[in-house]
Amino acid sequence: MSNTEDPYLWLEKVTDDAALDWVRTRNAATTEFMKSDEFDAIEARVREVFDTDARIPYARRRGDYLYNFWRDATHVRGLWRRTTMEEYRKDSPEWDVLLDLDAVADAEGENWVWSGAQVLRPDQKIALVTLSRGGADATVVREFDLETRAFRNADDGGYYVAEAKTDIGYIDSDAVYIGTDFGDGSLTDSGYPRIAKRWQRGTELSEATTVFEGKPSDISISAWHDRTPGFERDFVQRATDFYNAELYVLKSDELVLVDVPTDATASIHKDWLLVRTMTDWTVGDTTYSAGALLATNFDAFVRGGRDLTVLFAPDEHRSLHQWAWTENHLLVVTLVDVATEVRVYTPGDDGWSDRPMTGLPELTSIEIVGTDSEENGDEFFLSSSGYLTPATLLYGTVGGEIEALKQAPSFFDTTGLAVAQHFATSDDGTKIPYFVVRRDNAAPGPTLLYGYGGFEISMTPSYSGATGLAWLERGGTYVVANIRGGGEYGPEWHTQVLRAGRHKVHEDFAAVARDLVERGITTHRQLGAQGGSNGGLLMGIMLTKYPELFGAIVCQVPLLDMKRYHLLLAGASWVAEYGNPDDPDEWAFISEYSPYQDVVGPEDKKYPPILIATSTRDDRVHPGHARKMAARLEEVGQDVRYFENIEGGHGGAADNAQMAFKTTLAFQFLWTTLNA
């Protein structure tokens, strides 16, 4: 199917009346089809999970305050609030509400969705608040006065940026770095800022001074200020594609290249430059392996020095997952066959030392959720959870005891449930790990297989109350596949499936599906699959390439038309992942799996029932992918249900009520279909 032959291009017109009429008709049909007392009961329980006050109020530490954004049944759009550490330790802290987003949305007649805030330290008197309409990636930036609890108008000298995919951050109380839509030609082909400027308070945005200007083919340009006392620096980054970027330090108005590999991740803390390699890096006579974490003195490196210390090197079972600085130490989380370990690295006069962090819960996944190296020394916050273990917020100081600061409740009955890890063998012989959560000695039954497989995103074990009560508690089996494309085994687990290697992702997922049946965990008729975004593309491929393996599929906020993905919204930024459809050599391998072009009728290949869900306000993955795929499946007579949330952005929902409905829709569709 060529672009000129595509009869459904009109569905790419996001807010066109005809397109929205098409959406509403299918929304109504899907809602009516799924309507039942059981649906309502599950939805109500899922909503309680999202709204309950017993959730952990995860907070970001900034000096004396911990900031939190909170939604519940009463505050649908949410409250931005803060408290002190003394209060936060209590079971029911007293929160100082800074901004009531429901009140703002009602007063202004806008469907505002919270997108974050940057508080200027150390005084913490002003903040840059970002709000989106309906959950889109594009945001409106407004300056907020934390003393008067009101937005500062542009007429009063406050910062205000109209809706755009904006990158902004304080330099000091009177200046910001900003990249936004400055007018024609100021955005990249991917729709992100192409120009970074310095904007002085009290001047018009048009008067901002250009710091760096990239090319239209770049992904984005950004600039920021590091305000660490004694180590104040300014940086500019030019992202040339999704995985390559040039980093510069601004010295006396001159940009100096930080000459690390463009595909490496570089971060600076005080004296130290950390480099996480994506591919092998040869420096002099030494080659550092892909996935290593290296440390060196930043200033010496910029001057040409190359004295690098290997802090972490991967092996076939172990990979780097996460790291963060406290004031004097580096916390490093690694994965060992997808299980987490935490170590503490400390620079000293005699080099670096490292030791394991002790006192952590066993058989759970650990994530670093916060440090404040600027004002709170060596303290840290960690989150611990597992498929059957609710989250615990851990707090400690390096070298001291670790305490369980907050504990989330259990939302479902885990009696008789167990977690196991198995390995499937993919077509090329690679062992693919996957986790299974089910009742001991259960007979083959309804099973949900979840996958993503892209952008080096690791799928580590975590607790989901909604999954537990809507699936596991009813007797379902839940499976997460750690297929290639993720980062579970380091960069090469991802890089080997880029572009022409993409087929390995699909083969891995199919191998897990077969292995589940071979082990007697389920049958193909009772096996469902679910994925979103890049995982939604995976679901489209499972539908069109491997329909015999599944009894039902849920495909959410997906890419599906791989002939046009790079022309829609942020799609151009993913060419490094998938390839360029305009290049005949690359389209040759992309066309082998592009779901939209691969659709056939049931007389040629019978597809399992599929639910396709997206959001009108998704300005990252264009809703046209989902719309056109559903229309094409309808046209040829395949079994398809469609639902499009009018709000929600790429996450698919703008508030807890929408999230509860979207979640229940997916689980109930799978449950009823796989049990039919």
Query: Exposed, middle or buried: residue 413 (CB in 10 Å: 0-12, 13-18, 19+)?
Result: exposed
Query: Exposed, middle or buried: residue 153 (CB in 10 Å: 0-12, 13-18, 19+)?
Result: exposed
Query: Exposed, middle or buried: residue 156 (CB in 10 Å: 0-12, 13-18, 19+)?
Result: exposed
| pLDDT computed for residue 1 by the predictor | 55
Non-local (6+) Cβ contacts of 59 within 8 A are: 66, 67, 68, 82, 83, 88, 370
**Domain 3-35+421-674, classified CATH 3.40.50.1820, yes or no:** yes
426 is known as an active-site residue:
no
What b/e readout covers 80-90, taking b as 16+ CB neighbours within 10 angstroms? bbbbebeebee
Residue type, 533: S
| pLDDT computed for residue 363 by the predictor | 82
The 3-class secondary structure across 175-243, one letter per residue, is EEEEECCCCCCCECCCCCECEEEEEECCCCHHHCEEEEECCCCCCEEEEEEECCCCCCEEEEEEEEECC
533 is known as an active-site residue:
yes
Backbone angles phi, psi at 29, to 5 degrees: -65, -40
Cα(78)–Cα(44) distance, rounded to whole angstroms?
19
Q: Which two tokens stand for residue 460?
A: 């580590």
Could you give the count of Cα atoms lying within 13 Å of 246 in the half-sphere of its Cβ?
A: 13
In the numeric block, the tokens 């960690």 are attached to: 382
Q: Which two tokens stand for residue 358?
A: 């002790």
Active-site option among 75, 269, 625, 650: 650
Query: Exposed, middle or buried: residue 360 (CB in 10 Å: 0-12, 13-18, 19+)?
Result: middle
What b/e readout covers 580-603, taking b as 16+ CB neighbours within 10 angstroms? ebeeeebbeebebbbbbbbbeeee
Cα(26)–Cα(433) distance, rounded to whole angstroms?
38
531: helix, strand or coil: strand
Cα(390)–Cα(377) distance, rounded to whole angstroms?
29
| pLDDT computed for residue 3 by the predictor | 47
State CA 141 to chain mean position distance. 21
Cα(625)–Cα(558) distance, rounded to whole angstroms?
7
Cα(620)–Cα(297) distance, rounded to whole angstroms?
38
Backbone angles phi, psi at 311, to 5 degrees: -85, -35
Non-local (6+) Cβ contacts of 49 within 8 A are: 411, 465, 466, 469
Backbone angles phi, psi at 575, to 5 degrees: -60, -35
Non-local (6+) Cβ contacts of 442 within 8 A are: 475, 477
Active-site option among 365, 384, 533, 594: 533
Q: Which two tokens stand for residue 500?
A: 């022409």
Could you give the count of Cα atoms lying within 13 Å of 185 in the half-sphere of its Cβ?
A: 3
Q: Is 407 within 8 Å of 424 (Cβ atoms)?
A: no
Question: Mean pLDDT, 10 residues at a time, over the chain (676 residues)?
Answer: 77 96 97 96 95 94 96 95 97 97 97 96 97 93 97 92 97 98 96 97 96 97 96 97 96 93 97 97 96 97 97 94 97 96 95 95 93 94 97 96 96 96 98 96 94 96 96 97 96 96 98 98 98 98 98 98 96 95 97 97 97 93 97 98 82 80 97 94
CA dihedral 3, 5, 11, 17 (to 10 degrees): 120
- Shortest CA distance to 505 belongs to which of 464, 468, 456, 552? 456
What Å distances lie between residue 608 and 238, 341, 670, 673, CA to CA? 44, 40, 11, 9
Other beta carbons within 10 angstroms of residue 17's beta carbon come to 8
Residue type, 96: D
- The residues pairing with 61 across neighbouring beta strands, listed in sequence order, are 66
Cα(271)–Cα(317) distance, rounded to whole angstroms?
32
Could you give the count of Cα atoms lying within 13 Å of 137 in the half-sphere of its Cβ?
A: 15
What Å distances lie between residue 239 and 420, 573, 585, 639, CA to CA? 40, 10, 25, 42
Cα(593)–Cα(62) distance, rounded to whole angstroms?
47
CA dihedral 140, 146, 147, 153 (to 10 degrees): -10
In the numeric block, the tokens 């291009």 are attached to: 9
Q: Which two tokens stand for residue 566?
A: 């790079």
| pLDDT computed for residue 646 by the predictor | 82
Q: Is 361 within 8 Å of 463 (Cβ atoms)?
A: no
| pLDDT computed for residue 482 by the predictor | 98
